[in-house]
Amino acid sequence: ETGVTQTPRHLVMGMTNKKSLKCEQHLGHNAMYWYKQSAKKPLELMFVYSLEERVENNSVPSRFSPECPNSSHLFLHLHTLQPEDSALYLCASSQDGGTSGYEQYFGPGTRLTVT
């Protein structure tokens, strides 16, 4: 599945580092999402971008900063993270077309470890 790609696939960073996660979708969709998946919690929706505008910030700490420069690219900038931020970060995209509802397509994820 190459519709949604994420880089890097694995990342180890110290608590004082700054890094960025990248997501790119090749499906022509107009909405993109960041999720956090950890062993102890269900999938957590972090951010939603629709038509390149952030429409949801699900009470995410400010050490996570999203950026959506165009409809195909989504970034998650990370700084001064905590060990509990270690998780799989998933990007997804969908075609947002009103109230009928559309499936989301996911990337393979970035496995983040904070040391």
Q: What residues line the site for other proteins (CB under 8 A)?
A: 1, 4, 6, 31, 33, 42-43, 45, 48, 50, 55-56, 90, 92, 94, 96, 99-109
Nearer to other proteins (CB atom), residue 13 or residue 45: 45
Nearer to other proteins (CB atom), residue 15 or residue 43: 43
Q: How is residue 115 annotated by DSSP?
A: -
Buried b (16+ CB within 10 A) or exposed e, 7-46: eeeebebeeeeebebbbbbeeebbbbbbbbeeeeeeeeeb
Nearer to other proteins (CB atom), residue 17 or residue 38: 38
